[in-house]
Every structure is written in C-alpha cells, then in structure tokens.
Structure 1
Amino acid sequence: MNRTRFLFLAFILSTVLASAGIVSAQDADPAMSSAATDDISGPYDLERCVQRALTANPNMQAIRAQLKGAEFGQRSALGQFGPTLGGAYGYTHYNRGNSYSGKEDDWVASLNLSQPIFQGFNLLANWQKAKLNRESTEASLTNVELTLIESVQANFLSLLKARMDVKSAEDSVARLESQLKVTNAFYEVGLRPKAEVLDAEVDLATAKQLLLKSRNNVSTQEAQLNTLLNIPLESPVQYVGELKYIPFDLTLRDCLTRAYANRPDLIIGQKSVEIAQKDVTMSESSFYPSVTGRWDYVTRGDDPSVSGSGYYSESASEYWTAGVDASMEIFQWGADYYDSKRYDEMVNQMQADLENTRLNAGFEVKSSILNLQEAADRITVAKKSVVAAEEAYRMAVARYQAQVGTNTDVLNAQERLSLAEAQLSQAMADYGTAVSKLYVAMGEKNLGLKEVK
C-alpha cells in the first residue's frame, strides 16, 4: 500500500467516526445582538423592564456563556466513549544499514485506532457528571434570572415610590406657599406677628429642600434601572406604572410546596450531591481493570513514499495488527482506597449543605410572608391616617383663617399630612417588594407582579 492509499484510509475512518457523532464539528455560536442597537422607544412598564433585563443584562450573557461551555463539556465527555484515531510518519537513518533492507534510510508510516472497552465505570461516571454539571448550570441560569428579576422589580418599585414622594413634596410646598401668603396678609394688616411669617418661611424652605432630594432620588432610580437594563445612562426612557395592591392568597404550606419544588438553589444542591457521588465512582475506577482494544497499520520503505523496496519482503513492508490490552493497578499503598473515602465524605458534606439550604429556603418563604402581611396591614392603617391628616389640615386652615387657630396648628397639621403620605408610599412600596421577594423565594418568575393562583 502506497502513501496515497494510507491517507485515503485515514480520511475514510475520520469521516465514519464524524458521521457516528464521535467527532463533531465546531458549533457556531449565535451572535448576540448589541444592546446599543436595540429599540428602546415606547413606555417601559414593570414587565417590559424585566424582559429587557433578562435579554440584555451582562450577567445573563455571562451565565448563558457558562451554560454553553457546560454543554460542550458534556459532548466532550460523550466523545471519550468512542475510538481514538492517530497516525505517525517518521524517518530513521542507520549508519550501518537497516537490518531488513540493508539500506541506510528507513521511512515508516502508521495508523493507530484504539477503543476503550472498560475503564472501571470511569467514562460512564465522567459523562454523567458532565450531564449533571450542565443541569446544575441550567439551574444557575434560573437563579441568576430570579436575582435579576428581584433587583429590577425592587428598583422599579423604588422609582414609583420616589415619584409618589415627589408628588407629596410638591403638594406640601403648595400648601406651605398658600399658608405663607395667608400669614403675610394677616401680618400686613397687623393681625399676626412677624414670627409666624418666619416660621412659615422656614417650613417652606425645608419642604423645598425635601422636594429637591425627592427629584434627585427619582433621577438616581432611573439611572439604576437604565444600568440594570443595559441602556445608556443618557438615553431618556419612559418608565410607567404606579404602586398598587397585588392580591396574594397562597397559604404558607402552598408557598413552601412550590419553593421546595422550584427553587434553583435546591436543584443546584441536589445536583452537587449527585456530582459528588459520581466523583466517588470515578475514584473507585482504579479498583477495576482497564480494557482497551487496538488496531495498528504500518507501511514502510526506503524513500518518503513508504511504498517498500526490493529489499523488503511484502510482509515486512506493509502489515497490520489487532489486539486487546488489559491492565490494573494491584496495590497503591492505600492511596486509591483513602481517595474514595475522601469523596464519600464530600457526599456527606454536600447532603448536609443541601439540608441547610432547604431550611434556609423555608425560613426565607416564611419571612417573606410575614413581611407581606405586615406591609398589607400598614397600608390599611396608612390610608386611614392620610384621610384623617387631610381632614385635620383642612380644619386647621379653616380655624386659622377664622382667627380661632394658630399658625403653629396649621404647620403641625401640614407636617403630619406629609408624614402620613410618606408612610403610605413606603408601605405600598414595601408591599410590592415583599410580593417580589416571596415569588423569588418560591423560585417562580412573576415578571409583572401580577396575581397568580
């Protein structure tokens, strides 16, 4: 067989292995669209914000790349079950001539094919471990999604609260400006002292400072949302929505059942236990023999074409061999035994960590439900407080204008009204945040914080 036949045989074997799925072509990684070219026009409600973050946030791009790598790792582990094809081509110079041909130059080409038959369950466990690692990475992807959802929702709710604070601060400034005008009018006609005018001016200046802080907080929350959504900070985005009550009727038992079934950290913990068990199997592979089948083809000659020569017999210039090799480590002074015991203890560690994660998951669900109930009760109280504070302010203004009340009564009533409005907006925001945290604690994606039964 000449060199052309040798290369043709190698090509045929490679093609057969590739068609069997042992050798796979490099997958084309789909190009991700640039965030800079995305259409960000139109209003952004809570659900659209979350959807945008799940698509464009760099954290999501990173975990997707990690998942792609885990998929390639599983394919690599599967490829180890197949045969390995190799070749060699070499030249040797003899100073006294080759013992076969009598010539000084010897050219040899070979083709080698080896197939693992049994590796002490090492290959199987390695592939199963790679598969579990991919499944664990998928759960990590879900975990990153939930974390990102919680961050976007918390910032969006903070933005809505900041806008309510701005509205409350604007109303407070308007009320104080009106009271200052009335106080000035009374002062000019000698009905009120200058001290009341000064008090009104101080309270008005304080309210204006609070308004400036509230407006700055709105800008800060918008910038934070732009960052989470991977939108340029200088881009104007129309965030729309308002704080509202979100019905939630699930019991603690229902929430715990969903959490134990869906939480990605519990899935990751379970996969970690199974991966550790596969490490035990791999560490015990040295207790078994290793069996490999092989086939070798060799051709030689006294020139680079390795096509033989008149000095070679036909059997000496071209031949093939096939066989099976078995090997086993008989004694390693306890190294392999104690290595397997080390992995046994790692399994115990992972199981304990999983149980701890499960306990923490239950506590997180219970804590979120308590925070949800507290915020709901605070909303009820705060709404009544706002109504009462509005009526008290109206009465204080009426009494002052009728000259039967004091300016201090009006300013105190105005302060209590602003405080009641702030408490209501805080309770509404805390309620929405508690709902968001509870769904995340259950491992569920509620993008728009809509009622789910």
Structure 2
Amino acid sequence: MTLQALVLAACLALVGAPALAQPGQSMDLEKSVKRAIDANPSMQSAKQQIFSTQEGVRAATAAFAPTGTVTYYSRATNTTTPVTTAQDLTALYTAAGVNPGQGAATLQGKTYVVGDAYVANLDLNVSQPLFTGFRLLSSYQKSKLARDQAESLYKRTELTLIRSVQTAFLTLLKARSDVKSNQDSVARLDSQLKVTRAFYDVGLRPRLDVLQAESDLASAEQSLLAAQNSVDTQLAQLNALLNIPLDQPVDYVGQLTQNPFALTLRDALDEAYKQRPDIAIAVKSVEMSEKDASIALSGGLPQLRADYDFIRQGDKPWLRPENVTFSERHQFQLTFTWKAWDWGNTIFTYRQYSDVTKKLQADLAKLRLDVGAEVKTQFLNIQDAAKRINVAKTGLTAANEGYRMAVARYQAQVGTNTDVLDAQARVSRAEFQMTQALTDYQIAIANLYYSIGRKNMKLDS
C-alpha cells in the first residue's frame, strides 16, 4: 500500500468514515450488507434527518423560555416657533436654558425661535409567554413526533438497503450459476459435435446431425455470453450499493442454498404489525396532524404574556446620568389578548387539519391491510420456492441420467443425435430451474424479513 493510501485510511479512521474496500478482498453476504450500511450515502442522509429533527426538539423546547430583546433608537428634530412679543421670546429662551436673543430670526415682522431637539432611547425587554392556547406545547410534542418519525425513516432506509444488497447478491450468485451451467452445456455440446463429426467422417452419420450439433453449440455460446454479461452487471450494481468504485475488483463469495425457515405466518404478521417502520411512520403522521390541528385552534384561544422592560432615555447617544434630560425606569406588564373574530379563519383551518387527520387514519388502516397481504404473499412465495426446489432436484437427477443414457445409446449406434441434443437441453433446463428456485427461495426470505421489519443480514433462521 502506498504512503498516500495509508494516510487516507488513517484520516478516515479518525473521522469515523467507512474504511475503503481493498481490491480483491472477499465479501460474503453479511460483510456486504454491513459495508453498505456503513458506506451507502442513503444511510448518511437518513441519519442527518434524525439530527435535524433533534435540533427541532431543542428549538421547540427553547420556545418555552423567556426571550430578550434590546431596542435602541435616537431621534433628532428641528423646530421653529413664532413669537410676537419680547416677553414670549424671553420665556421660550428661559425654558430652553439659553440666553435671550440667541437662535432668533425675524421674518416678515415676526420673530421665530429656532431649536434642535435630540432624544436617545434604550429598551431592554424580557418577554415570557404564560399561555399560548397550547400552541407551544403542541409544537413541542409535534417536534418529538417528527424525531420519532425520522428514526423510523432511518430504519426503513436501512431495511430497504439490506434487501437491495441481498437481492443483488443473490442475483449475482444466480448469474454465476447460470454461467457455470452454460459452460457445462457448451462443453457437452462441443463434445457431442466432435463425436458427430467423427461419425460423419466415417460415413456413419448424415451431415444433418453435424449441422444440428453446430447450431445447438452456437446457441449455447450465445447464452453463455449473456450470462457472463449478467455477472458483470450485477457486480457493478453491488459495488454501487456498497459505495465501492465500479472498476475495483471485489470477490463476492457465497452459495445458493436452501436454509431452513421456521417462522410461522401468524408470528410473521404479529411482528410486522409491531415492527414495520412504515406503520410507525404512518402512526406518527396521524399524531403530527392532530398536533397541527391543535396549533391551528390555539389562535382562537386566550393569549397571556408577561413583559419586563428596563428603559433609559437621554439627550445624548451614550445615555449617561450626566445627560441633561437623563431618565431610567423599570416597567412590568401583563398582557392578556383574545382575538374577538377572524371571519372563521381559525375554525376553518382547524377543520382542514382535522380532515387531513381523518385521511391519514384511513391511509394507516389501508397500510395495515397492505402489510398483511405483503407478508402473506412473501410467505407463500417461500413455500412455493421450497416445493419447486424439491421438484427441481428430482428433475435434475432424471435429466442427468437421461443425458448419460442418450450419449451411450448414440455412441452404440442405437440412438440418434436428436435424442442426445434433446437430453442435453433437458439437463440445462433442469439446472436453470434448480438455480431459479433456490434464488427465488432466498429472495422471498429477504423480502419477508423486510416485510416484517426485521434485520437479518445473513438470511439465517
């Protein structure tokens, strides 16, 4: 490993990032699922949603506490006062605290006194809501529901990712089995073509047998190429799910097997109704809608607020006691308000959210029905695949024996080339049916665990 790679791995370990997959390393089903959970961006997105809702809970909690507001303003005004007698002029100057005769102007026989006034004001307000029509309480409860819903969304994202990885992994194993089956088919057909050509060369078989063998061999080679392309496609999909570079080779190891499955339908349904994150999300949506209705109704209820103000005023910006007109006071105020009418806005908004709540309740009831049907479907799929596996085993054994006998009869000159080719096709078909049944069985198990909301990384019982 290069120095740069070592430094990068150390940095990732320090910040808690998922370790990079090493080229050529072996990854079984469980390791692949764990890698996807650690590295797939969808999990980080769901995790950030939880962090966001936690901040929302803190914000709703802080809304119960008093708020402080500082207000400062300054105002300068310029005024002119007309006077008609000397006595009036003297009185104005005396009130302003200046010597008579200063700041006076004569216009059209009248004397005007020109004066500048400056006022600065500083107000420190502390406001405490006492009753808001349950708006603050409902907002706080809604924020906690949103956090719980985000946690359920995280669980659903995790379950969806696990199912996607398991499905892609099992499909890869199936594609590899198809490649192996097609390779065996090509080998059998190639061997048959050589035997047929040898018989044709000595005049024991017609040219038609050679052409049939060549045609079937070409068809098998086409199927082999398609199967190999399917393997490459599934490798790319798995690397994408595990956040591994698409061009990085990874050795995914595993086998298609028939693991025992002992969970009963009743137990599966009970677990689904309790643990399925979709149901939990829907329940939280109903409860959040109820809180929205309470928040909407709060506008029509009384509001009570307490305020404390510390106010300073003066004729200079710095508001110190040496100001000529400096003053300082404390003010306490209790405010009670109750909106008299709003032309039905509050009640209509409340009814709107109430109708939304009823809709979400109906959606929840439908979701429960859908979940039950989904669990039952996957349970039946498991049973169906298990039966097909047993049938496929019997069919594969019979097909292999039939092919062996057809080849022996052909080489003994008592059978035809068509018999051998048909027997070979039956072997390939039986192998594909066996592989498909095993794949369907394990994918159905993966789907069932998703349907009941249980994490099972290895698909064991």
* TM-score, L = length of structure 1: 0.88
2:39 is aligned with 1:56: yes
User: Which of 279, 295, 298 is 2:292 aligned to?
Assistant: 279
Whether contact under 8 Å (2:315, 2:323) holds in the other structure is no
Partner Cα separation in structure 2 for residue 32 and residue 213 of structure 1: 43
Partner Cα separation in structure 2 for residue 110 and residue 92 of structure 1: 15
Partner Cα separation in structure 2 for residue 100 and residue 54 of structure 1: 79
* TM-score, L = length of structure 2: 0.87
Match for residue 71 of structure 2?
88
Q: Percent identity?
A: 47
Whether contact under 8 Å (2:312, 2:328) holds in the other structure is yes
Partner Cα separation in structure 2 for residue 398 and residue 100 of structure 1: 131
Greater Cα offset, 119-128 or 145-154? 145-154
Whether contact under 8 Å (1:112, 1:296) holds in the other structure is yes
Partner Cα separation in structure 1 for residue 444 and residue 123 of structure 2: 70
User: Which of 137, 159, 170 is 2:172 aligned to?
Assistant: 159
User: In the TM superposition, what is the alpha-carbon distance from 1:166 to its structure 2 partner?
Assistant: 0.5
2:413 is aligned with 1:403: yes
Q: 1:243 to 1:310 in 2, by over 3 A?
A: closer
3-state SS of paired residue (1:66):
helix
Whether contact under 8 Å (1:307, 1:317) holds in the other structure is no
Q: 1:139 to 1:106 in 2, by over 3 A?
A: same
Q: Deviations over 1:211-241 (max 9, x none)?
A: 1111111000000111111111111111110
Partner Cα separation in structure 2 for residue 181 and residue 257 of structure 1: 61
2:347 is aligned with 1:337: yes
Match for residue 370 of structure 2?
360
3-state SS of paired residue (1:114):
strand
Q: Deviations over 1:274-324 (max 9, x none)?
A: 111111211221232111111111123333321133523xxx521111121
Q: 1:303 to 1:31 in 2, by over 3 A?
A: farther
Q: Deviations over 1:128-154 (max 9, x none)?
A: 001101111111111111111111111
Q: Deviations over 1:39-79 (max 9, x none)?
A: 34521111111111112112222222222211111111111
More strand by share: 2
Give the counterpart letter for 1:263 in structure 2.
R
2:429 is aligned with 1:447: no
3-state SS of paired residue (1:287):
coil
Partner Cα separation in structure 2 for residue 296 and residue 284 of structure 1: 30
3-state SS of paired residue (1:250):
coil
Match for residue 447 of structure 2?
437
Partner Cα separation in structure 1 for residue 321 and residue 332 of structure 2: 22
Partner Cα separation in structure 2 for residue 100 and residue 207 of structure 1: 112
Give the counterpart letter for 1:128 in structure 2.
Q
User: In the TM superposition, what is the alpha-carbon distance from 1:342 to its structure 2 partner?
Assistant: 2.0
2:21 is aligned with 1:39: yes
Whether contact under 8 Å (1:103, 1:302) holds in the other structure is no
Give the counterpart letter for 1:404 in structure 2.
V
3-state SS of paired residue (1:90):
strand
User: In the TM superposition, what is the alpha-carbon distance from 1:174 to its structure 2 partner?
Assistant: 0.8
Partner Cα separation in structure 2 for residue 281 and residue 326 of structure 1: 20
Q: 1:384 to 1:326 in 2, by over 3 A?
A: same
In the alignment of these two chains, the number of paired residues is: 417
2:214 is aligned with 1:201: yes
Task: Map residues 173-212 of structure 1 onto 2, 5 A cutoff.
Answer: 173-212=186-225
User: In the TM superposition, what is the alpha-carbon distance from 1:155 to its structure 2 partner?
Assistant: 0.7
Q: Deviations over 1:163-188 (max 9, x none)?
A: 00000001111111111111111111
Whether contact under 8 Å (1:302, 1:308) holds in the other structure is no
Which segments of 5 or more consecutive residues in structure 2 lack a partner in the other structure? 1-12, 81-94, 98-114
User: In the TM superposition, what is the alpha-carbon distance from 1:100 to its structure 2 partner?
Assistant: 10
2:244 is aligned with 1:231: yes
Give the counterpart letter for 1:233 in structure 2.
L
User: Which of 369, 372, 375 is 2:379 aligned to?
Assistant: 369
Partner Cα separation in structure 2 for residue 363 and residue 52 of structure 1: 32
Match for residue 14 of structure 1?
none
User: Which of 50, 58, 77 is 1:67 aligned to?
Assistant: 50
CA RMSD in angstroms comes to 1.9
Partner Cα separation in structure 1 for residue 262 and residue 225 of structure 2: 39
Q: 1:87 to 1:195 in 2, by over 3 A?
A: same
3-state SS of paired residue (1:112):
strand
Which segments of 5 or more consecutive residues in structure 1 lack a partner in the other structure? 1-29
Match for residue 311 of structure 2?
298
Match for residue 398 of structure 2?
388
Match for residue 20 of structure 1?
none
Q: 1:115 to 1:100 in 2, by over 3 A?
A: farther
Match for residue 127 of structure 2?
114
Q: 1:340 to 1:382 in 2, by over 3 A?
A: same
User: In the TM superposition, what is the alpha-carbon distance from 1:103 to its structure 2 partner?
Assistant: 6.4
Match for residue 15 of structure 1?
none
User: In the TM superposition, what is the alpha-carbon distance from 1:38 to its structure 2 partner?
Assistant: 1.8
Partner Cα separation in structure 2 for residue 385 and residue 374 of structure 1: 16
Give the counterpart letter for 1:39 in structure 2.
A
Q: Deviations over 1:390-414 (max 9, x none)?
A: 0000000000111111111000000
Whether contact under 8 Å (2:316, 2:323) holds in the other structure is no
User: In the TM superposition, what is the alpha-carbon distance from 1:334 to its structure 2 partner?
Assistant: 2.4
Whether contact under 8 Å (1:105, 1:302) holds in the other structure is yes
2:142 is aligned with 1:129: yes
Match for residue 11 of structure 1?
none
3-state SS of paired residue (1:168):
helix
Partner Cα separation in structure 1 for residue 96 and residue 63 of structure 2: 38
Whether contact under 8 Å (2:272, 2:453) holds in the other structure is yes
Whether contact under 8 Å (1:292, 1:325) holds in the other structure is yes
Q: Deviations over 1:104-134 (max 9, x none)?
A: 2222222111011110100000010011011
Partner Cα separation in structure 2 for residue 40 and residue 330 of structure 1: 71
